[in-house]
Amino acid sequence: MTDKVHTPFNGGLTSELLRYFSGYSALGVVAFSALVPWFVANFLGWPGNSARLSTIENVQTFWALAATIAVVATFAGSYTVTREYYYRTLRRNVVISGVHQVVSGKYFAALVVELITAGTGIALWVGILAITASPELRAQLIGSVSWAPLLGIFLTSSIGSLWGCSVGWTIKHYYATTIFTMLIPLALELPLIANFPEFGRWLPSGALAGIASLQLMASWIHCPHLRSRSHSLLQRGLSSCGLWRKTEF
């Protein structure tokens, strides 16, 4: 007889993913992963002004807009937590599965959801440009685009999803968390980054945009500042989990 090892991968992760993809909310997240780059592109006037930009500038703009998918990944990470607060099922889930499995399962689920969100978002964003971009711009992107920044976008979205999960544990309220993770970045932070780059780089979205420019994982490994910020972020989220446990049980 083989003993079953209870890990987030054979129980908690599967349960969290089933919860996340139940209903139509997951389809909404996928739709937003394409709509957010399109929304920001329209705000910047691109690709309408692509004729005035060089090929390198158009390629950089393409990837910069793709990096805004990290905003959606942040919301998706928070939704793994706030969904259960909204439906009041978190307490029951903890009683049945245990705090460790629930917490670790949600963080692992946030990473899996990020991969799906970023992957589908980039595919849909490419599809939108294939339909709406001019033949000249399509030729520039196809002929000159480098897929090296793709790693930076997935890294950014991963950090965003973990950050969102921590924010979900901290704020708990679904609508307040949605405003904090999606509305504020789109309505305030991204315009500031576009118009005042020196100021915008101090904002959370500016930090994620900076991470998206990393083209090699080695750059992340040799950047202690970013590692310490990410460690602090996860630590705050876990502290919020502990505080919730003390207040609820």
154 in Cβ contact with 118 (< 8 Å):
yes
Q: Please give the Cα distance from 169 to 174 (Å, whole number).
A: 10
> What are the pLDDT digits (tens) for 15-61?
888 889 887 888 999 999 988 888 888 888 888 888 888 888 888 88
The single residue listed with the structure tokens 């315009």 is: 191
Report if pTM > 0.85.
no
DSSP label at residue 22: S
Nearest to 59 by CA among 146, 126, 169, 118: 146
Among residues 182, 189, 154, the alpha carbon closest in space to that of 82 is found at 182
Sorted by sequence, the CB contacts under 8 Å of residue 207 that are 6+ apart come out as 201, 229
pLDDT digits (tens, 9 = 90+) for 141-168: 887 666 778 888 888 888 889 889 988 8
Q: What does the pLDDT read at residue 49?
A: 87
| C-alpha–C-alpha distance, residues 160 and 158, integer Å | 5
Retrieve residue 203's tokens.
Answer: 């904002």
For residue 208, the model assigns a pLDDT of: 57
What span, in angstroms and rounded, lies between the C-alpha atoms of 236 and 166? 7
User: What are the residue ranges spanned by the domains of the chain?
Assistant: 8-248
% of the chain with per-residue pLDDT over 90? 17
Tens-place pLDDT, residues 80-116: 999 998 988 888 888 888 888 888 889 999 999 999 9
pLDDT of residue 77: 93
Cα-Cα-Cα-Cα torsion 207, 200, 177, 243, nearest 10 degrees, comes to: 60
Residues 205-218 have a mean pLDDT of 49
- Checking if the pLDDT of 123 tops 90, the result is yes
Q: Where are the alpha helices (DSSP H) in 146-188?
A: 149-171, 174-178, 184
Dist CA 25 CA 222 (whole Å): 38
Q: Are 32 and 125 in contact (CB under 8 A)?
A: no
pLDDT of residue 218: 36
Give residues with Cβ within 8 angstroms of 195, minimum separation 6. Answer: none
